[in-house]
Structure 1
C-alpha cells in the first residue's frame, strides 16, 4: 500500500504535510519512496533532497496509465513506506478517454488503489468544513478518504468548531496544523526556490520532522503508508528496446541554472546503455572528452543569466561542438541557453550560446499546460508525423519564430532543428516515448570531442 496526500485546491498545504511526513520517516531511519502527481519538477526536488533518493513523477498524460502502475510498483521495491503528493485539488485533471478527471490526484489514487489523506485549509471557515469533507468523500466512492488534516487552525476554539462539525461524518482527523506551526519556503516566478539554494534547509527538515511528530496521528497514518512486498507489474517500456553495442557518453547540463529533469528520463538513458556525465554551464569551462550528445534541461537560466553569460569558455566550447555536429537535446531552459540572448525581468540582456536564430525575453505571461503536438519534420528525436503529449511551463517568449518549425500545437508552431540540435519549450517524459531516448542515443554515433 501507500498513501496519497491531496488538497481541496492548490495552496491547501499538501506539500508541507508531505514533506513533514518524509522528514519524520528519514529522521527515524526508515526507507521511504516518494512520488509526485503531475509534471512538476520543483516539489520532487524537495522530496529527493529530504529522502536522499529520487522522487518519481506519476503522470498518465505524459506516460500512459500502464507506466504509472509499473513505475509505482518498481520503485516501491525494498522500501518500508510510500507517499504520493497530489497536484492541485483532488479531482482536478483533464477530460480525456471518457474520464473527466484524467491525471488528477483522484485518478492516480484509483489507478493504484491507494487511500487518500485530504488537507483542508481552515483559515476562512469553521462549520463549513463538514460540507467540504463530505463532498470530497462522497463525490467518487472509488476514492477512499482515510481522513483529513486540518491546516491553519487559529485557536483552540476554532479547532473545537471544526472537530464538532466533522464528528457526525465519522471521518478521522489525523493531523492538526496551527497557523504558528507552518514552515515557509522562499519562492520565485515558477514556484519554490530550489532546495539546493536554501542555506538553512537542514534546519527546515528538522522542524518539519518535529511538526509531524507533534501534529499528526502517526499511529494511524504510518500503517496507511506501509509497503508490503509490492509485485512488479509489466516490464518498463524501454526494457524492450535493444541496447546499443557502443556505450554512448552523454553530457547532462545540471547545476543551479539547469535542474528540471525527470529522474526517469536519466534512468532510461542509462538503461539504454548511456554513460551520463554531469556538466555545469555555470562552473565548467570546457566539455568532457569523447562525448556523443548533450541534454540541456529546463530550469532558471534567466535567474543566472549574468553568470551564464560570463562563462564565455563554456559557451564557445558548446557552440563549437554543436557546429561540428554534437547531438543536442534542449528543453525550455536549454532552448533559452542556446538562443542569442536572454532578457530578464529587469530588462537586462545577456549573451548566450547563439546557436538558435532567436532571443528570449522574460514576461509576466505564464505559459502552462499539457500539449498534444504533431511533429512536422524529421529531427534527432522524432520522425515526421509523430504525435506526442508534452508539457510547457515558462514565462519567457522567443523574439523570432522558427522558419521551419518542428512542432504544431493547435494553431501554434514552435521548435528548432538546426545542425543536430532539437530545441523546444516542450518537456517530454521518456517513459511515455522511449523512442525519443533511443533516437537521441542513435543519432550521436561518433564522438565529436
Structure 2
C-alpha cells in the first residue's frame, strides 16, 4: 500500500520522481496520501497541490518514533495508496552519537523505512554513471539488511546505449528497475534562497503537474510498482473528538506566510480553535473577533515592500498585539514583528515594530536541529520547558534579543556552544525555531488557554 522514494544523495531527483508518481496515480483516479521525511515545508506544498490531500511530515527528531508510526497509520485510512518522499540521501541523518535509539542514522529516510516496515525505492542519478551503477545500488541494498529494498529508479539517463549499459549492470545483481527517466529540461520548478518557489507563486503549475503525470505514466514500470502500492484494509483511526469552538485564531496564510505543519493546525482545531485564514499582504483589515494570531514562516523578505505598504493592517495588528492579543510567530513571522526587514540589497522596509530589532538578510545560511530550553513564559511555553525545533533562514536580528526566549543548543550539525534565541514579550512568542507540536501538546494547549483568557479579558494597554 505504500513505498518510500529515496535518493542515493541530495539532488538525485527524488522530488521530481515523487511528484511524477503522485500525479500519475492521481490521474488514474486513485486517492493518494503523501508524506515527507524531515522538517521541510515546501515539498509538502507540491504534494498537496498534486494529490488534493494535506501532506504529513514524518520527523522523529521533532516528534518521536512512536509519533511517526501513529501519524502514518492514522492517515492511511480512506486512501488507496501512500507515497513517502525521503530526505537527502537514504542514510543521511543525525549521527549515532546524537541519538542511539536506532542502528541507522536517526531521522534518516532509512530510519523511517525501518520504523514503518515499508519498501524503499532508490532514485539514482545516472548522468555520470554506467557500470558503476551496480556497485552503488548493491551497496545501498545491503548496507542495512533489515531494510526492505524494492528496486531502483534510473534518473537522468542519456542515450539508448547509456540505458543498455545501466540495465546490463543491474541485471548482473538481479535488481528490479522500477522506472527509467531520461534527461530532460522541459519540466522545471524555479527555486530561490531557501529551496523551491512555493506553489502559490507559480501560475503555470497546472501545466507542470500535467507534464509530470505524463512523465510518470511513461517512465515508471507500473507492473513492478502497482503491487507495492496495492490497497490493504486499514482500520478507521481513533481520533479525539474536536472540542466545541471556544476561540478564533487568525492564521496568516498567503505568499509571504505559508510554512505550517498541518498537524499543528489540526491540534488547534481539536482543542477548540476556529482557524481564520487571512492575508497580511492583500487583506485591508485584520479578521474580526480574534483572540490570537499565528504567523508561520515563509518569505516575508521577498514581499517586504507589499507588507510594508499595507499600513492599515500593520496599524491594526500592532494595536491588537500591544494591547494583549496572544501571538505566536515562527521565523518569517518573527521577522514581520520586527521594526524592519532589510533585504539582500540592504533596502529596509518597516514592519510591525513589536520587537525592537531589524531582520537583516545575508548570505550565511543558518540550518539545523535545535534543543531549546525556555528561559521565561510566552503564550506557548513556560520557564524550563524543553522543545526540539528546526532552524532554516538567511536573516539575523540586529540587535540580538535583549529578552531571549530560549537557550538553544544545536543537535545537528553538532556544536558545543549554546546561544540565546527568540524574543519574549508577555503576549508574544517569537522565535526562529520551527516547532512540530505532535509530541509537545503543552504548546497548543497553553496557546489556546492564553487565547481564552484574552477572550474573557477587556482590552488594556500594556
For normalisation by structure 2, the TM-score amounts to 0.93
Q: Mapping of 1:90-129 within 5 angstroms? A: 90-94=90-94, 95=96, 96-99=99-102, 100-129=104-133
* TM superposition shift of 1:443: 0.6
* TM superposition shift of 1:232: 6.0
- d(CA) in 2 for partners of 1:105, 1:232: 27
Aligned to 2:218: 214
Aligned to 2:380: 381
Q: Mapping of 1:78-97 within 5 angstroms? A: 78-94=78-94, 95=96, 96-97=99-100
* TM superposition shift of 1:446: 3.1
- d(CA) in 2 for partners of 1:365, 1:414: 17
Q: Deviations over 1:158-197 (max 9, x none)?
A: 1111111111211101111110376221000000011121
Number of matched pairs = 444
Aligned to 1:338: 337
Aligned to 2:367: 368
Deviates more, 1:398-407 or 1:273-282: 398-407
- d(CA) in 1 for partners of 2:231, 2:386: 37
- d(CA) in 2 for partners of 1:12, 1:149: 10
Aligned to 2:195: 191
Aligned to 2:34: 34
Aligned to 1:158: 162
Aligned to 1:287: 286
Q: Mapping of 1:16-415 within 5 angstroms? A: 16-94=16-94, 95=96, 96-99=99-102, 100-180=104-184, 183-231=187-235, 239=240, 247-410=246-409, 411-415=418-422
Aligned to 2:7: 7
User: Among residues 403, 408, 421, which one is paired with 2:428 in the alignment?
Assistant: 421
SS in structure 1 of the partner of residue 150 of structure 2: strand
SS in structure 1 of the partner of residue 400 of structure 2: coil
* TM superposition shift of 1:227: 3.4
1:437 aligned to 2:444? yes
* TM superposition shift of 1:252: 0.2
SS in structure 1 of the partner of residue 35 of structure 2: strand
* TM superposition shift of 1:346: 1.6
- d(CA) in 2 for partners of 1:294, 1:207: 39
Contact 1:82 1:226 survives alignment (8 Å)? no
SS in structure 1 of the partner of residue 435 of structure 2: coil
Deviates more, 1:84-93 or 1:399-408: 399-408
Contact 2:378 2:426 survives alignment (8 Å)? no
Contact 1:174 1:221 survives alignment (8 Å)? yes
- d(CA) in 1 for partners of 2:274, 2:116: 33
Deviates more, 1:169-178 or 1:90-99: 90-99
Aligned to 2:454: 446
Q: Deviations over 1:22-57 (max 9, x none)?
A: 101111211000000000000000000111110000
Deviates more, 1:146-155 or 1:280-289: 280-289
* TM superposition shift of 1:223: 2.1
- d(CA) in 2 for partners of 1:181, 1:257: 29
- d(CA) in 2 for partners of 1:78, 1:244: 23
- d(CA) in 2 for partners of 1:90, 1:227: 25
Give ranges in structure 2 of 5+ residues lacking alignment: 410-417
* TM superposition shift of 1:409: 1.2
Deviates more, 1:437-446 or 1:331-340: 437-446
Give ranges in structure 1 of 5+ residues lacking alignment: none
Alignment root-mean-square deviation, CA: 1.5
Is the alpha carbon distance of 1:195 and 1:33 closer, same or farther for their aligned partners in structure 2, counting shifts above 3 Å? Answer: same
- d(CA) in 2 for partners of 1:134, 1:442: 54
Is the alpha carbon distance of 1:54 and 1:211 closer, same or farther for their aligned partners in structure 2, counting shifts above 3 Å? Answer: same
- d(CA) in 1 for partners of 2:84, 2:334: 31
Aligned to 2:412: none
Q: Deviations over 1:186-209 (max 9, x none)?
A: 000000011121121111111111
* TM superposition shift of 1:230: 2.3
For normalisation by structure 1, the TM-score amounts to 0.96
* TM superposition shift of 1:59: 0.4
* TM superposition shift of 1:245: 6.4
* TM superposition shift of 1:282: 0.2
Is the alpha carbon distance of 1:246 and 1:219 closer, same or farther for their aligned partners in structure 2, counting shifts above 3 Å? Answer: closer
SS in structure 1 of the partner of residue 122 of structure 2: strand
- d(CA) in 2 for partners of 1:8, 1:143: 15
